[in-house]
C-alpha cells in the first residue's frame, strides 16, 4: 500500500511541472503576441504642444513613442484597462487612434496569422493573469508535495552520479588500455570509432535530406552532373564549371576532379557530393584529433577537438592553416606538418 501511495505521489509531480510549463507558454504568448507587443497609433490634435503631448503620454501609459507623421505617433500602451482606455479616447488632446477597439475598449491586434479564437483570447488581455494563476497554483501543489519533491531530487542526484560514472567509464574506454609489449595486435583506435559515430549521426540526415540550398544545387550539383555525363560520352567540358546560375562564379567549389565524382553517373549527384563532404569531414576531424593530441596526453580531450570540428567545420576559416603550421612548427618533418594542416582544413571547410 505504501509503495502504491509513493508511486501515486511521484505521478502527481507531473501536475505542477505541467502547470509551470503552461504558465511559461502563456506568458511567452501574451508578451510576444498579445497587447503588450502591439503598437497603437495616436494622432494628436493640432493645438497640442510638445509638453502637453509628453504629459498625456505619461498619464495614459504611452511608451516608446515613434513619430510616423507630423501629428501621428506610435506607442506601446501600458495602461490597458477599460477605464484607462476610455480616458485615453475621451482626452481632448487625442484626435484619433488606431489599433484600439472603441466599442470593446481594448487593444486590437494586427497579426494576420492568428485564428479568430486565439485573437479574441489575446485581445481580452487576460492571458497574463491566467499565467500568473497557473504559476501560483503550481507553486502551491509543489509545496503540498514537498516531501515527494525532495525524494525526487535525491533520486535525480543518484541518477546524475550514475550518469557521471558511466561518462567516466566511457572516457576510460576512449583512452584505451595502456600499450603492452606482449601484444602486437593493431586494433582500430577507439577515438576513431567515436569520431566515426559522431560523423555518421551528422552525415545521415545531411546526405539523406540535407538543406534545400538552390545555390549549392546549381553551382555544385548541376556542373558536376553535366561534366560527368559529358566525360562518359567522350567529350571534355571546357565551359564554365559554375554555369548553373547563368553567370561565371570562378570562386565557387565544384567536384569535377574528385575521384568519387563518377558516382554521379549511377547515383543521385546531390547525395554523392554530400557523401564526399561527409567523408572529408571525418578525415578532417581525425587529423584535428591528432593535432589536439600534440597538446594533451588524453585522447578524450583530443577527441573532443575532433567532435568540435565535426560540429563547426563549415565555419572554419583558412586562417586555421597559419595557426596549424605554427602549432606544428616543432616537428622535424615539415612535410608531415603540411599534410596535417591540409587535412585539418579538409573541404568543405
Q: Residue 281 has what DSSP assignment?
A: H
Output the pTM of the full model: 0.50
Would you list the domain boundaries of the chain?
A: 39-108, 190-344
CB 40 within 8 Å of CB 97: yes
Beta pairing, strands 94-98 & 39-44: antiparallel
Q: pLDDT tens digits, residue range 154-199?
A: 877 888 888 877 766 766 666 665 555 454 455 557 777 887 888 7
Give the pLDDT of residue 319: 43
Low-confidence ranges of the chain (pLDDT < 50): 1-2, 4, 181, 183-184, 244, 251, 315-323, 325-328, 331-332, 344-349
Query: What is the rounded CA–CA span in Å between residue 120 and residue 210?
Result: 40
Give the pLDDT of residue 147: 81
- Cα four-point dihedral sign 114, 116, 121, 122: positive
**Burial class, 201, CB count within 10 angstroms (exposed 0-12 / middle 13-18 / buried 19+):** exposed
Query: What is the rounded CA–CA span in Å between residue 40 and residue 66?
Result: 10
Query: What is the rounded CA–CA span in Å between residue 273 and residue 255?
Result: 7
Give the pLDDT of residue 245: 52
Quick one: three-class SS letters along 60-127?
HCEEEEEECCCCEEEEEECCCCHHHHHHHHCCCCEEEEECEECCCCEECCCCCCCCHHHHHHHHCCCH
Amino acid at each position: 500500500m505504501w509503495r502504491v501511495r509513493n508511486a501515486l505521489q511521484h505521478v502527481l509531480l507531473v501536475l505542477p511541472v505541467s502547470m509551470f510549463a503552461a504558465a511559461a507558454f502563456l506568458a511567452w504568448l501574451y508578451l510576444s503576441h498579445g497587447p503588450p507587443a502591439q503598437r497603437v497609433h495616436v494622432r494628436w490634435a493640432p493645438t497640442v504642444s510638445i509638453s502637453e503631448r509628453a504629459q498625456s503620454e505619461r498619464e495614459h501609459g504611452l511608451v516608446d513613442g515613434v513619430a510616423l507623421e507630423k501629428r501621428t505617433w506610435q506607442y506601446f500602451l501600458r495602461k490597458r484597462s477599460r477605464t484607462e482606455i476610455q480616458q485615453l479616447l475621451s482626452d481632448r488632446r487625442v484626435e484619433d487612434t488606431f489599433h484600439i477597439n472603441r466599442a470593446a475598449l481594448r487593444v486590437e491586434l494586427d497579426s494576420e496569422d492568428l485564428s479568430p479564437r486565439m485573437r479574441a483570447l489575446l485581445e481580452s488581455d487576460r492571458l497574463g493573469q491566467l499565467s500568473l494563476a497557473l504559476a501560483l497554483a503550481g507553486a502551491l501543489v509543489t509545496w503540498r508535495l514537498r516531501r515527494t519533491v525532495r525524494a525526487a531530487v535525491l533520486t535525480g542526484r543518484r541518477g546524475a552520479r550514475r550518469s557521471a560514472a558511466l561518462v567516466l567509464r566511457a572516457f576510460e574506454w576512449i583512452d584505451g588500455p595502456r600499450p603492452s609489449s606482449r601484444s602486437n595486435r593493431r586494433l582500430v583506435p577507439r577515438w576513431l570509432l567515436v569520431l566515426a559515430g559522431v560523423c555518421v549521426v551528422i552525415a545521415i540526415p545531411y546526405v539523406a535530406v540535407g538543406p534545400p540550398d538552390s545555390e549549392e544545387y546549381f553551382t555544385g550539383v548541376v556542373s558536376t552532373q553535366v561534366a560527368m555525363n559529358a566525360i562518359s560520352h567522350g567529350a571534355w567540358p571546357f565551359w564554365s564549371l559554375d554555369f548553373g546560375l547563368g553567370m561565371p562564379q570562378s570562386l565557387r567549389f565544384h567536384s569535377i576532379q574528385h575521384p568519387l565524382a563518377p558516382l554521379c553517373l549511377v547515383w543521385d549527384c546531390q547525395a554523392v557530393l554530400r557523401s564526399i563532404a561527409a567523408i572529408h569531414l571525418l578525415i578532417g576531424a581525425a587529423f584535428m584529433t591528432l593535432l589536439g593530441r600534440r597538446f594533451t596526453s588524453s585522447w578524450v580531450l583530443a577527441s573532443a577537438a575532433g567532435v568540435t570540428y565535426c560540429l563547426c567545420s563549415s565555419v572554419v576559416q583558412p586562417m586555421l592553416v597559419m595557426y596549424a603550421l605554427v602549432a606544428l612548427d616543432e616537428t622535424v618533418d615539415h612535410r608531415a606538418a603540411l599534410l596535417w594542416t591540409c587535412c585539418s582544413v579538409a573541404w568543405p571547410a
